[in-house]
Structure 1
Amino acid sequence: MSELAPHHLLPKNEDGTQHEVPVIWDASAADALGVLRTGDISVLGRMPYSSNATFLVRIDHPTMPTAAIYKPERGERPLWDFPSGLYRREIAAFELSEALDWHVIPPTVERDGPFGVGSVQLFIDANFEEHYFTLVNDDRHHGDLRRICAFDLLANNTDRKSGHCLASRWGPIYGIDQGLCFASDFKLRTVIWDFGGEPFDDDLAEAIGSAAQPAPALSQWLRPDELSALAERAEWLANFGKFPDDDGGRRWPWPLV
């Protein structure tokens, strides 16, 4: 377990000092989910640079206190192309990642927190100077980044910015901010195009094919038309057999980082 979350990202106390927040270090997903579901939540502050209300919270648990990111539904700005309840897509993203055995989305649960119901996601202790554009330069990260890329293709991620790829201090790279995923209309926007044209390896191909039968857990969080669209994307990708390219140069988010 690390001692502190990254200082430059944490909200500050009223006297200007930094919060000290214990962060889970390489705990199992099952352990993390238990803590997130049952620990007492206390808000430490609002996270910077977030378009919706996003809070750093402390989860007090007798065996493993930790930090988490809390996104209440009542703090979401209305969007014309997504229904309210974006937090549900954060949970669906975790469930899809686990069903595929990729583990690229932090453990995420639904909780009734201080500002109402929303998602609570394990805080990823990372070097926040790193992001996709720096991580992709190291071949050691390509396995995780390919899985995140394939995940975004399946989930129809509309907002995979470079800063949404975090290299945890315990090793794996995680994708965060999945609220704009799973639309039934194709809306892909991502910075991850470096693998375009590469064939899927056997493990990726098998997992992608399995998504043509969406995991039962997803039906709690997504509409029937969104589940059908997910299955169609999985079938198309499995038949295509490789990472697509963005030939038109139009499927990038803004800002990029």
Structure 2
Amino acid sequence: MSAPERIPSRSVTPTALLTEGELTVRGRIREASNAALFCTVSLGGQEASCVYKPIAGERPLWDFPDGDLARREVAAYTVSEATGWGLVPPTVLRDGPYGEGMCQLWIDVVPGAELLALVDREEPGPGWRAVGFAEVGEGRTALLVHADDERLRRLAVLDAVINNADRKGGHLLPAAGERLYGIDHGVTFNVEDKLRTLLWGWAGEPLTAEAVTVLEGLQRALAADGALTAALTPLITAAELDATRARIAAMLTSGTHPEPGGEWPAIPWPPV
């Protein structure tokens, strides 16, 4: 589903528009596993498209508390903003036609971007990173690869920080201006290691100097009196905050991208 998007002017910030604007449901996004509604939001003569996920439409999960996936989505956006990378579309928690829920700016995807591929070879070609082999039917396997793209590498760091349990290919949105966004962050911030992603191409490799600087900034902001701690406290539990701090500290100590732990499936299913 897509619709012409009118981005708010500078007089109305995207978060203000999403938080305070009049929300009108236009349709349902049927591919989503939880209730996800395509909407428009308008305020002060400005209008934009957005996604509204009411908490009442969340399916119970065995390993996440009921009724808090929306808050985790907002927490992921909050951490993304703290990195300065802007990898998650503006996302807020607000009331709507079906109760409180997550509201996120709609991103129109630029077609033709090649971020993931299946190739019939043992090693990735130039400009690609190997994820692993996948069955493609009739007893055949192919190598799953992702682009060796700095935007994806930043997203891999963010996913490790927020402990993203579901980074699928369909959650990657290449947008205008060579921007790349990640969406669907409801299953994040668990205290247990649940990192599942298609972005394992840098596993075990040294972090970039930029990533180290960003992680050090997050570490400072997550101090007891830090601004990020204050922003996340209404959204995730104290134990989840401590686990986030521990993941950042571990990455800074190792100086490398995390590797699959082996106790949890490393790649989400289905992968797209």
Which TM-score tier does this pair reach, normalised by the shorter chain?
0.7 to 0.9
- Cα RMSD, aligned residues only: 2.4
Q: Distance in 1 between matches of 2:20 and 2:112?
A: 32
Shift of 1:209: 2.6
Tell me whether 1:231 sits opposite 2:245 in the alignment: yes
Kindly indicate which of the two structures has a greater share of residues assigned to strand.
Answer: 2
- Code of the aligned partner of 1:147: R
Q: Distance in 2 between matches of 1:107 and 1:192?
A: 23
Tell me whether 1:107 sits opposite 2:71 in the alignment: no
Change (3 A) 1:21 1:44: farther
Equivalent position to 1:87, from 41, 64, 70: 70
Identity percentage of aligned residues: 35
Say whether the 8 Å CA contact 1:36–1:109 is kept in structure 2.
Answer: yes
- Code of the aligned partner of 1:93: A
Shift of 1:140: 8.9
Q: Distance in 1 between matches of 2:204 and 2:148?
A: 18
- Equivalent residue of 1:212, what SS? helix
Q: Distance in 1 between matches of 2:110 and 2:235?
A: 31
Say whether the 8 Å CA contact 2:114–2:147 is kept in structure 1.
Answer: no
Partner of 2:57: 75
Shift of 1:199: 1.4
Moved >2 Å (runs of 4+)? 20-25, 61-64, 127-132, 136-141, 209-214, 244-250
- Code of the aligned partner of 1:190: T
1:71-220 equivalence runs, <5 A: 71-83=53-65, 84-127=67-110, 130=113, 132-133=115-116, 137=128, 142-213=149-220, 214=222, 215=228, 216-220=230-234
Structure 2 residue ranges without an equivalent (≥5) = 118-126, 130-145, 223-227
1:119-152 alpha-carbon deviations (Å, 9 max, x no partner): 1001111136657415x75999722111110000
Tell me whether 1:240 sits opposite 2:223 in the alignment: no
Q: Distance in 1 between matches of 2:41 and 2:114?
A: 26
Tell me whether 1:250 sits opposite 2:265 in the alignment: yes
Tell me whether 1:40 sits opposite 2:55 in the alignment: no
- Code of the aligned partner of 1:34: A
Change (3 A) 1:128 1:88: farther
TM-score normalised according to structure 2 size: 0.80
Q: Distance in 2 between matches of 1:31 and 1:141?
A: 33
Shift of 1:247: 7.5
Q: Distance in 1 between matches of 2:204 and 2:39?
A: 41
Change (3 A) 1:190 1:140: closer
1:5-84 equivalence runs, <5 A: 9-10=1-2, 20-24=3-7, 31-83=13-65, 84=67
